[in-house]
A = this chain, B = another copy of it.
Amino acid sequence: MALIVQKYGGSSVADATGIKRVAKRVTEAKKAGHDVVVVVSAMGDTTDELIDLAQQVTPLPPQREMDILLTAGERISMSLLAMAINNLGVEAKSFTGQQAGVITDEVYGKARIIDVSPSRIRDTVARGEVAIVAGFQGVNPSTNDVTTLGRGGSDTTAVALAASLKADVCEIYTDVDGVFTADPRIVPNARKLDRIAYDEMLEMAASGAKVLVLRCVEYARRYGVPVHVRSSFSTHTGTLVTDEPDPSKDTTMEQPIIAGVAHDRSEAKITVVGVPDVPGKAARIFEVVAAAGVNIDMIVQNVSAAATGLTDISFTLPASDGATGTQALMAHQPDIGFHSLQYDDAIGKLSLIGAGMKSHPGVSARLFAALSEAGINIEMISTSEIRISVVTRADSLDDAVRAVHTAFELDSEQDEAVVYGGTGR
């Protein structure tokens, strides 16, 4: 008998039929002898509909009120799910984030969890009942006001609750079968991974893989919560995110070098042209950008042309911060003393991720050779211990992902039956 935290996203509870299907799944785990805590997102498009209503009322809703509004979504789905489970003869009770003891900071709209005190959840489970918890929300204890956790918030709620309850596993139910070696919409013969280490999953999430958000994986790694990513539409085993070795496999055997290939189309590139090549100028550029609240990803400084004493510096940033970044730099053009800015949002980023690459020096060479053979130009490169990322033209990105996936022998023998779509929050 285990304690399982299950999280169901908005697409799994989009309507009464979906809620009843989830209820059946929950009761099956309960009847198999497990203790079950369920975290649930808002139904289907509820959140978008509420945002739309707010925009009909005002272009600039106060964030405190926006959070109160949005948390109505989980209130509806959690109570309906509790009703549906009761209807199947299993006692269930629903709890808001506040009732479940999810304590956050006061940053409305993207609050961070600072503590979880789930005494009511523990009591409910101890009575043999199923506890349903609203995802995506918590309470700011200094005001007793409700807060929301931002994108991927329900996944984070589930992992935080699993950590606090010392659950045996946190099951994240979604509309895909698990974590794949690449996005199956781009690489049809991508393979589902049975296991992936936290660090690899972190790099995947940071590099554009959508299946889990970064903060959720960070939370899981910090507290050692095993996360099982699986489909709510099938009973297939999904992907286990854990650092524990697979007991079914001989651990003396060499593990695969590469976990997968992630891609990201959401970045843009700024090139600062004609920067005086003297100490401190590069630092000044990044100070200005950081002061504007923009996170920089990759950086390349060209070799200085000795004749002019000028150099070019390129960096990538989220395309959504493009305007902020360029405006901040232009405002400081006089004191930095560069010639001009170039802005380019037609870029794509490919990342090759695998803990095994630490001990395999040939990985970069094989990556560059694969891209070269496919006729794809590399514009920027960055590396970590377990990741190599390259920037290409946006319209070459899909070809690049397929070429690299094949070169590292990640293609499956046959196409797997996969369902892939966007996930909620």
Q: What string of 1s and 0s marks CB contacts (under 8 Å) between A46-73 and chain B?
A: 0000100110111111101110110111
Contacts of A19 in B (CB 8 A): 57
Task: For the complex formed, measure the closest distance between the CB of A82 and the CB atoms of chain B, giving whole angstroms.
Answer: 5
Query: Pick the contact of A75 from B61, B64, B75 — CB < 8 Å?
Result: B75
Say what secondary structure dominates the interface of chain A.
helix
Within 8 A of B (CB), among A73-121: 73, 75-76, 78-80, 82-84, 86-87, 93-94, 99
A144 interfacial contact with B, CB 8 Å: yes
Q: A57 contacts which of B16, B75, B78, B145 (Cβ < 8 Å)?
A: B16
> Are B93 and A76 in contact, with the CB atoms below 8 A?
no
Asked if A80 contacts B99 (CB within 8 A), the reply is no
Inter-chain CA distance A75–B87, complex, in Å, is 26
Given A65-B79, A76-B72, A79-B69, are A53 and B16 neighbors across the interface (CB < 8 Å)? yes
Verify if A20 is at the interface (C-beta below 8 Å from B): yes
Total count of chain A residues near the partner, CB < 8 A: 36
The 8 closest A-B pairs by CB, nearest first: A16-B56, A58-B87, A69-B79, A68-B79, A72-B75, A72-B72, A61-B83, A65-B79
Residue on B nearest A55 in the bound complex, by CB: B16
On whether the beta carbons of A20 and B57 are closer than 8 Å, the reply is yes
Interface residues of A in 369-418 (CB under 8 A from B): none
The distance in angstroms between the C-alpha atoms of A65 and B53, with both chains bound, is 25
State in angstroms the CA–CA spacing of A145 and B93 once bound together: 11
| Cross-interface CB contact of A83 among B57, B79, B82, cutoff 8 Å | B57
Which residues of B have CB within 8 Å of A56?
A: 16
**Pair A87/B57 contact, Cβ less than 8 Å:** yes
Instruction: Please report the C-alpha to C-alpha distance between residue A20 and residue B57 in the assembled complex, in whole angstroms.
Output: 7
Give the residues in chain B near A76, CB-CB below 8 Å.
Answer: 50, 53, 69, 72
Contact of A68 among B61, B68, B69, B78 (CB under 8 A): B78
Q: Once the chains are docked, how many angstroms separate the CA of A64 from the CA of B129?
A: 14
21 A-B pairs with C-beta separation under 8 A: A16-B53, A19-B57, A53-B80, A54-B79, A57-B83, A57-B84, A57-B87, A60-B87, A61-B83, A61-B86, A62-B86, A65-B79, A65-B83, A65-B86, A66-B79, A66-B83, A68-B78, A68-B94, A69-B80, A71-B75, A72-B75
Please give the distance in Å from A354's CB to the nearest CB on chain B.
45
- Per-position contact with B for A317-349: 1 when CB-CB < 8 Å, else 0? 000000000000000000000000000000000
Contacts of A68 in B (CB 8 A): 75, 78-79, 82, 94
Question: What chain B residues lie within 8 Å of A58 (beta carbons)?
Answer: 83-84, 86-87
Chain B residues near A79 (CB-CB < 8 A): 54, 65-66, 68-69, 72
Cα(A64)–Cα(B83), bound, Å: 9
- Cα of A352 to Cα of B319 in the assembled complex, Å: 72
**Given A54-B80, A58-B87, A64-B93, 12 other A-B residues pairs in contact with their CB atoms under 8 A:** A16-B53, A19-B57, A20-B57, A57-B80, A57-B83, A58-B84, A59-B87, A60-B87, A65-B83, A66-B79, A69-B80, A99-B145
The interface residues of chain B lying within 8 Å CB-to-CB of A20 are: 57
Q: How far is the CB of A124 from chain B (nearest CB, A)?
A: 11
CB distance from A142 to the nearest CB of B (A): 13
Chain B: minimal CB distance from A45 (Å): 14
Question: A64-B93, A99-B144 known; A54 and B69 CB under 8 Å?
Answer: no
